[in-house]
Amino acid sequence: MNRKPQLGEFLRTRRAQLQPADVGLPDFGERRRVPGLRRDELARLAGVGLSYYTRLEQGSSLNASPEVLEALACALGLDEVERAHLHDLVGAPRRTTSRRRPAPERASDTTWQLLDALGDTPAIVLGLRSDVLAWNRTGHALFAGHLDPLIPDQPDRRPNMARLVFLDAHTRDLFVDWPKKARNVVGKLRLAAGRHPDDPRLASLVGELTMKSAEFTTMWAEHGVRKWALAAYRMHHPVVGRMELNLQSLGVPQEEGQRIVVATAGADTASAAALSLLARLDTPSAPRTAHADTAEPTPSVTDSPR
């Protein structure tokens, strides 16, 4: 994914969301030809030249200094995550010595040890592109009980959380707060795209979702970024019913972009009782496969037409 169009689109969408009154500019009731602030207004707010800002927005320059980026971030009212994303988009392109596709991610031995230590608490391991790298038994039962528990061990067939959220009917029904979940997923992918603009697997995933989901296309065009560590969702599981769960995202040490998502519920609540029931159900286990790349391919539900 090319950084230049991403930078220009991000700046334009954020500029369009600001009105003169939002930044203390007088509004004389004039009929404005563009939504939000004009380029010259934002350039003045940031203290940069109009022609220079125009080159940034048009994608003809990626030479903005950290000081200019901070000035633009302040003028646009960006939060901490959006500021970091802006810096990522203007970062120097990463040098590569090979154009081979990156090796598939895997959950390390220590990550599996952590999954084991979590016991019956539902947990899944996601990679930098939101691929499901591993899950424990209750994590599989909660998030994807309709899929083969061994699919994460097969790099070419493992499920992807973004693909599940937008293209899988079971997952869509699972999240009562589906729009909230969908925007969080898109925001995570936006952050990943800013940090890994040359990743062909990530570009392929975004292209697939853009072609198959109009809702994804709309949300992707908004350039929203998310870096959530805790999110509360209302969920409706087909077996144990309604739950209000907290999903906590924990970074995996020494594994760039990987995170463990753990689901919990308040003590002595109906949701906690539902999770306890889910843990007691006779569901297939999701054991670790020592040689995942030698496993026989198993048809994935996510590959079937909808």
Task: Work out the pLDDT band at 160, boundaries 50, 70, 90.
Answer: very high
- 31 belongs to a structural domain: yes
Whether residue 299 has pLDDT greater than 50: no
Domain of residue 121: give its range. 109-303
Same domain (yes/no): 22, 139? no
Most confident of 55-64, 98-107, 206-215: 206-215
Q: Residue 209 sits in a domain of what CATH number?
A: 3.30.450.180
Same domain (yes/no): 53, 117? no
Comparison of pLDDT for 63 and 146, the residue scoring more? 146
- Predicted pLDDT of residue 279: 93
Same domain (yes/no): 160, 66? no
Share of the chain above pLDDT 70, in %: 84
Whether residue 269 has pLDDT greater than 90: yes
Most confident of 32-41, 63-72, 124-133: 124-133
Same domain (yes/no): 173, 34? no
Residue 230 burial by CB count (10 A; 0-12/13-18/19+): exposed, middle or buried?
exposed
Whether residue 56 has pLDDT greater than 70: yes
Whether residue 290 has pLDDT greater than 70: no
- Predicted pLDDT of residue 104: 84
- 98 belongs to a structural domain: no
Same domain (yes/no): 41, 184? no
Same domain (yes/no): 51, 124? no
Task: Using the 3D structure, point to which of 30, 63, 90 is the last residue of a domain.
Answer: 90
Average pLDDT, the chain: 84
pLDDT, one tens digit per residue, over 270-284 is 999 999 999 998 666
Same domain (yes/no): 135, 83? no
Task: Work out the pLDDT band at 64, boundaries 50, 70, 90.
Answer: confident
C-beta separation of 231 from 184 below 8 A: yes
- Predicted pLDDT of residue 302: 43
- 96 belongs to a structural domain: no
Task: Work out the pLDDT band at 293, boundaries 50, 70, 90.
Answer: very low
Whether residue 99 has pLDDT greater than 80: no
- Predicted pLDDT of residue 215: 95
Same domain (yes/no): 264, 229? yes
- 299 belongs to a structural domain: yes
- 198 belongs to a structural domain: yes
Same domain (yes/no): 229, 279? yes
- 103 belongs to a structural domain: no
Comparison of pLDDT for 63 and 245, the residue scoring more? 245
| Domain tally, the chain | 2
Same domain (yes/no): 128, 199? yes
Same domain (yes/no): 75, 128? no
